[in-house]
A and B are shown apart, each in its own frame.
Chain A
Amino acid sequence: MIGAWLDIGWVNEIPVRGSRTVTVDGAGEIAVFRTGDDKVFALRNRCPHKGGPLSQGIVHGHSVACPLHNWNIALATGEAQGEDKGCTPTIPVKIDGGRVLICRTGTLQAAA
């Protein structure tokens, strides 16, 4: 039986104001972010602009600046901010006893 949530590891494995990646075989990557105030978000690891790996961007507030052309993406919604238009799929996350769990169906949809 496979649970609805995928356990990907401890919160502390993600650097504060940083990100780690999770791969889904045969599909894309998920970027899991931890913000300065210790919130965790998961997004498809592809910028809506030209596919930049968001996991490598600078995390500030609840946004990440894409490493390729500096679009700012809101972590909660995946939307590009300011003048830029585009959206990256987000994946529901929950924290349980210090473990990070990401929604399995969301992960499959986003990574596909």
Chain B
Amino acid sequence: MDFQDYRGGGATPEAGSSDGASGSAADPREHLVVIGNGMAGCRAVEELLARDAGRYRVTIFGAEPHVNYNRIMLSPVLAGEKTFDEIVINTADWYRDNNIDLIVSDPVTAIDRAGRTVTSRSGRVVDYDRLLIATGSDPFIIPVPGKDLPGVISFRDMKDVDTMVAAADAGGEAVVIGGGLLGLEAAHGLSLRGMKVTVLHLPNTLMERQLDEAAGWLLKTALEARGQTILTGADTAEIYGDGKVEGVRLKDGREIPASLVVMAVGIRPSVAPAREAGLDVGRGIKVDDHMVTSDPHVLAVGECVEHDGQVYGLVAPLWDMCRSLADGLTGKANPYRGSVTSTKLKVSGIDVFSAGDFSGAGAGCEDIVLRDASRGVYKRLVLQDDRIVGAVLYGDTGDGSWYFDLLRKGESVADLRDVLIFGQAFASGGGQADPKAAVAALSDDAEICGCNGVSKGQVVSCIVKGAHSLDAVRSTCKASASCGSCTGLVETLLALTLGDDVQSGPKTMCKCTSFTHDDVRREIVAQGMRSIPEVMQTLHWSTPDGCSSCRPALNYYLLCALPGDYVDDQQSRFVNERLHANIQKDGTYSVVPRMWGGLTNPRELRAIADVVEKYDAPMVKVTGGQRLDIFGIKKEDLPAVWADLNAAGMVSGHAYGKALRTVKTCVGSEWCRFGTQDSTGLGVRLEKMSWGSWMPHKFKIAVSGCPRNCAEATIKDFGVVCVDSGYELHVAGNGGIHVRATDLLCRVSTEQQVLDYCAAYIQLYREEARYLERTAPWVERVGIDYVRQRIVEDEVDREALCARFLYSQSFSQDDPWAQRAEGGEHEQHAHMAQFKPVKAEEMA
């Protein structure tokens, strides 16, 4: 397109000449020159024309070869849903009709404030009375090798879209760096055009500035289902290629081939000419409430400005700015006071909305969360002092504007609080602000449970017939038995129908959920859930990321359900399991290496002695579990201590874990005059089989060589008492808070059987006990007969349990200390920074 097409009244100035003086001679009006033919610059002119059309003579410089178009709509153009012509905002006629001089493809390169002229790249010099800078933003290019290779582009203007379309027509693979709005839209468009797309995102959550983690996770899952590959936590090291892009290499060594790389990692206000002209520039060009810069003849508007410390990257604030600017230019005071922004976007066809501060960081903030997994909906409101201060909506953004309105007005929502999350229609349903009343008002045939198609009438009749608890309702009419999202409704119906007779059901896992441990475990397996955020979403957690009770439990349940597959979440581990040592009251740690079956040797003892001296450990002690405990080690020294112990062949004793602890033995037949079997050797074999496994709680084993039972096997989780004819297997003992002697499980005749039964028993415990439930309370709850039936009577079941245990062990018998000693998780042990403070007098 030729720029001359768009030119309005003014004569085309010759390059290098100045039309300012002659222009003003011919036209006595003040001359307004606009740098930037984009959304804010043109809108400002429109606002000005609307107020006082004849007041200024206007010239606009544009760097792009186009009339003003709707930049937001570049995504639909890329996706093939719109053409360029359809997204033009101001046509050539508009410039002509309003006598605006448009100069395209010729960016302004210098501003002379003293002489009040601007100079363009082609050498034009134009005088101004008022200058308006509306240069928008520049895409941020991460400074990695290869960033300048042909085929590396950003996503900002029509030229970028043309490049992407051409690349897609040639076929092949594309990498998009940046999982924010722009990156995801680029990825969506490119994959619609047939490219295989990988998105690399450095943070762990997509669109982390607009969405909280839960919503980001939903988005990621939805996009992956559409065939895009999304790598979070992906740190780009280099873009490689010979003369043109061939791929991207990550810091962890992975390589992703690509013929096109789109960088969409962020934008920076475009301030170069303003800064060189000596205007006051911070992150953006600093402006006052009427968009005037530090020079009263120069104004600025749009993404290039900084107002009251804020810069903006969405259009809504720009419209507010343009109004204040136009009022100011026409002599009316209408100060711009900053904008509270909300984001309502369709990312690849998925509705997302966010507004205000949804970090929940302020004092007294509370969250209201609604998750409706079957509809793919997530809503979160952040309240402070009964006012909405933030909102995140995913999947259903219908109420976004209502919440945003309440947020901006700062109105108290105390009266609506209980129903707020259900949306405006529900909350304003005439006198139904009380959720109980709202449920009472539902008709008998209103659907309560969508999953199982149960109506209110059916639920009530099953309650009347005797189902007086949530569980009873679930098992009789199936309401709330699937996704659980109607649990609240069913509970309200129980309360309405029974008054005070409601029985409280089994204890829920924690305050974050209405499900019990058993429900959660069952659903994880039944629905094949694979991560903590997925569980929280599917089962409608009421907090954004759980609490210190549910997270470790979920982490364990997933680990148990997906051996070898699930990636352990370190941040959901208690400190001891995260640091692989026991924390002490002074914040130091104790270190207990494994001594298999209580056996040791000079080499191990020497290594322990050396560690005690080398790291100044204040105490070393023989534990009640037949091994040695080194106390007072600092977290920074742990990897080095472990390296020394590893060098002597010792591994972690898991004295800190919900895991196999010790296997106590006695001397047995090898030395003892009463010994009937090799209790020491069997103990070592049991420990070698079961060490490293994660369990619901700690697990202790002992093997005694005869019924004198020197190893105290009858107060252990699994105890073996050797007898002449073989081995007695005892289970569910506990020597702790409540002493409980074991139940006899059965007698077996070979060592191999002891190992097999032990493995099967551990696996049953791992799969069925609740987190933090030791074997004693577990067996008391399910009954020893049940355990006997599964382990002793049902041979097939026993073998299957045993096989599952051994399979899971094939992934867990890596010494965690060795990994750390080699530098794994190094940040857990290192300080982030260290400072030497300067004394007060030196600071002055």
Instruction: List A residues at the B interface (Cβ < 8 Å).
Output: 2, 6, 8-9, 12-18, 20-27, 29, 32, 35-39, 41, 50-53, 56-62, 65, 67-68, 70, 72, 74-77, 107-108, 111
The answer, among B571, B583, B587, B843, for a CB contact under 8 Å with A15, is B571
B363 neighbours in A (Cβ, 8 Å): 74, 76-77
A9 to B832, CA, bound (A): 7
**Minimum C-beta distance from B498 to chain A (A):** 31
B96 located at the interface, meaning its Cβ lies under 8 Å from any Cβ of chain A in the complex: no
Interface residues of B in 740-759 (CB under 8 A from A): none
The B576-620 residues at the A interface (CB cut-off 8 A) are 578-579, 583, 585-587
Could you list 19 further interchain pairs (A-B, Cβ under 8 angstroms) beyond the known A9-B833, A58-B548, A107-B837?
A: A20-B827, A22-B831, A22-B832, A22-B833, A23-B831, A24-B835, A35-B359, A36-B212, A50-B585, A56-B579, A57-B548, A58-B552, A58-B573, A60-B543, A61-B543, A62-B361, A65-B547, A76-B361, A76-B363
**CA–CA, A68 to B362, complex, Å?**
26
* CA–CA, A8 and B551, complex, Å: 29
Of the listed residues A18, A22, A56, A77, the one surrounded by the most CB atoms of chain B closer than 10 A to its CB is: A56
Docked-complex contact A59 and B837, CB < 8 angstroms: no
Contact of B837 (CB < 8 Å), options: A17, A26, A36, A61: A26
B281: Cβ under 8 A from any A Cβ: no
Task: Tell me, in angstroms, the Cα distance from A68 to B574 when the chains sit together.
Answer: 10
Residues of A within 8 A of B30 (CB): none
- Residue pair B835, A25 in contact (C-beta under 8 Å): yes
For the complex, give the distance between the alpha carbons of A37 and B838 in Å: 34
Report how far A93 CA is from B359 CA in the complex, Å.
Answer: 15
Which positions 356-382 of chain B face chain A at CB distance < 8 Å? Answer: 358-363, 365, 367
Point out the residue from B205, B208, B360, B574 that lies within 8 Å of A61, measured CB to CB.
B360
Q: Considering the complex of A and B, which 10 residue pairs feature the smallest CB-CB distances, nearest first?
A: A65-B548, A20-B832, A17-B571, A67-B575, A8-B833, A58-B548, A56-B575, A36-B545, A53-B587, A25-B836
Instruction: Tell me the bound Cα distance from A2 to B835 in angstroms.
Output: 12
Chain B residues 451-486 with CB under 8 Å of chain A are none
| Cβ A2 vs Cβ B843 within 8 A | yes
A61-B360, A76-B362 in contact; A37/B835 too (CB < 8 A)? no
B652 interface hit (Cβ, 8 Å)? no
Return B371 CB to nearest CB of chain A, in Å: 15
> What residue in chain A is nearest B825 (Cβ atoms)?
A15
Whether B544 and A67, one on each chain, are in contact in the complex, defined by CB atoms closer than 8 angstroms, is no
Most buried by B among A14, A23, A29: A23
User: Are A6 and B359 neighbours in the complex by a CB distance under 8 Å?
Assistant: no
Min distance, Cβ B45 to any Cβ of chain A, angstroms = 34
**Residue among B586, B832, B838 making CB contact with A21, cutoff 8 Å:** B832
Interface size on B, residues (CB 8 A): 46
A13, B365: Cα distance in complex, Å? 27
* Distance in Å: Cβ of A108 to nearest Cβ of chain B: 5
**Residue B813 is within 8 A (CB to CB) of chain A in the complex:** no
Q: Which single member of A25, A57, A61, A75 contacts B544 (CB below 8 Å)?
A: A61
Q: How far does the alpha carbon of A36 sit from the alpha carbon of B572 in the complex, in Å? A: 12
Query: Could you tell me the distance between the alpha carbons of A22 and B586 in the complex, rounded to whole angstroms?
Result: 17
B129 at the interface (CB under 8 A from A): no
Chain B residues whose CB sits within 8 angstroms of the CB of A62 once the complex forms: 359-361, 365
Given contacts A36-B544, A37-B360, A65-B548, contact A21 B583 (CB under 8 A): no
Which residues of chain B are near A65, meaning CB under 8 Å?
547-548
Whether B570 contacts A18 by the Cβ 8 Å rule is yes
Look across to chain A and name the residue whose beta carbon is closest to the beta carbon of B589.
Answer: A56
Is B213 an interface residue when CB atoms closer than 8 A count as contact? yes
- Asked if A21 contacts B544 (CB within 8 A), the reply is no
Closest to B587 in A: A53
Measured between alpha carbons, how far is A13 from B203 in the docked complex, in Å?
A: 11
Q: Is B204 an interface residue (CB 8 A)?
A: yes
Distance in angstroms between the alpha carbons of A50 and B583 in the assembled complex: 14
Q: In this complex, what residue of A is CB-closest to B214? A: A36
Q: B658 to chain A: closest CB distance in Å?
A: 14
Q: Is B527 an interface residue (CB 8 A)?
A: no
15 A–B pairs (Cβ distance < 8 Å), ordered by A? A8-B832, A17-B572, A25-B834, A25-B836, A26-B837, A35-B359, A37-B205, A38-B203, A52-B587, A53-B587, A58-B551, A58-B574, A60-B543, A65-B547, A76-B363
**CA A14 – CA B552 in complex, angstroms?**
20
What is the CB-to-nearest-CB distance from B202 to chain A, in angstroms, rounded to a whole number? 7
Q: Is B546 an interface residue (CB 8 A)?
A: yes
- Chain B contacts for A75, CB-based, 8 A: 361
Contacts of B204 in A (CB 8 A): 16
A72: chain B residues at CB < 8 Å are: 548
Q: Using CB atoms, name the residue of chain B closest to A29.
A: B831
A residues less than 8 Å from B365 (CB atoms): 62
Grouping DSSP codes into helix (H, G, I), strand (E, B) and loop, the B interface class, with mixed when no group exceeds half, is loop
Contacts of B837 in A (CB 8 A): 24-27, 107-108, 111
Q: How far is the CA of A29 from the CA of B834 in the complex (A)?
A: 9
A25 to B544 CA separation, bound complex (whole angstroms) = 37
The A-contacting residues of B in range 205-255, CB under 8 angstroms, are: 205, 208, 212-213, 235
**Whole-angstrom distance from the CB of B752 to the nearest CB of chain A?**
41
Given the complex, which residues of A lie within 8 Å of B575, measured CB to CB?
Answer: 56-57, 67
* Cross-interface CB contact of A37 among B212, B574, B583, B834, cutoff 8 Å: B212
Q: How far is the CB of B354 from chain A (nearest CB, A)?
A: 11
Pairwise interchain contact B831-A21, C-beta atoms closer than 8 A: yes
- The residues of B that contact A111 with a CB separation of less than 8 Å are 837
Contact B574 A67 (CB under 8 A): yes
Q: Are A15 and B827 in contact (CB under 8 A)?
A: yes
Chain A minimum-CB-distance residue to B576: A67
Chain B residues lying within 8 Å of A41, measured Cβ to Cβ, are 361
Bound-complex Cα distance A59 to B204 (A): 16
Assess the B202–A12 pair: CB atoms within 8 A.
Answer: yes
Chain B residues whose CB sits within 8 angstroms of the CB of A20 once the complex forms: 827, 831-832
Contact A68 B583 (CB under 8 A): yes
A36 touching B833 by the CB < 8 A rule?
no
Contact, CB under 8 Å: B571 / A18: yes
> How far is the CB of B396 from the nearest CB of chain A, in Å?
21
CB <8 Å contact, B548 and A37: no
Q: Which single member of B359, B834, B835, B838 contacts A39 (CB below 8 Å)?
A: B359
Q: Shortest beta-carbon distance, B257 to chain A, in Å?
A: 26
Interface centre among B547, B552, B571 (most CB of A within 10 A): B571
A6 in contact with B835 (CB, 8 Å): yes
B residues in contact with A67, CB < 8 Å: 574-575, 583
B86-106 near A? 1/0 per residue, CB < 8 Å: 000000000000000000000
* C-alpha spacing A20/B362, complex, angstroms: 22
Question: When the two chains form their complex, are residues B360 and A58 in contact, meaning their CB atoms are under 8 A apart?
Answer: no
Q: Are A107 and B835 in contact, CB atoms less than 8 angstroms apart? A: yes
| Shortest Cβ gap from B473 to chain A (Å) | 31
Q: Which of chain B's residues has its CB closest to A32's CB?
A: B832
* Min distance, Cβ B84 to any Cβ of chain A, angstroms: 35
- With A15-B827, A22-B835, A38-B203 known as contacts, the answer to whether A60 contacts B548 (CB < 8 A) is yes
A51 pairs with B587, CB closer than 8 A = yes
* A-side contacts of B360, CB under 8 Å: 37, 61-62
Considering residues A29, A38, A77, A108, which has the most beta carbons from chain B within 10 angstroms of its beta carbon?
A38
* Cross-chain contact B548 with A70 (CB below 8 angstroms): yes
In the complex with contacts A22-B832, A38-B208, A58-B361 CB distance below 8 A: no
Q: Is the CB of A60 within 8 A of B545?
A: yes
Q: Quick one: which of B367, B544, B572, B833 has the most chain A CB within 10 A?
A: B833
A11 smallest CB distance to B (angstroms):
9
Contact B213 A36 (CB under 8 A): yes
Chain B: minimal CB distance from A91 (Å): 12
Residues of B within 8 A of A23 (CB): 831, 833-835
Enumerate chain B residues within 8 angstroms of A74, measured Cβ to Cβ. 363
What separation, in Å, do the CA atoms of A15 and B783 have in the docked complex? 43
Give Cα distance in the complex from A6 to B837, angstroms.
Answer: 11
Task: Point out which of B235, B573, B827 has the most chain A C-beta atoms below 10 A from its C-beta.
Answer: B827
Least CB distance, A72 to chain B, in whole angstroms:
8
Whole-angstrom distance between the Cβ of B417 and the nearest chain A Cβ: 19
Q: How far is the CA of A111 from the CA of B831 in the complex (A)?
A: 15
CB-CB under 8 A from A57, the residues of chain B are 548, 575
Assess the A13–B361 pair: CB atoms within 8 A: no
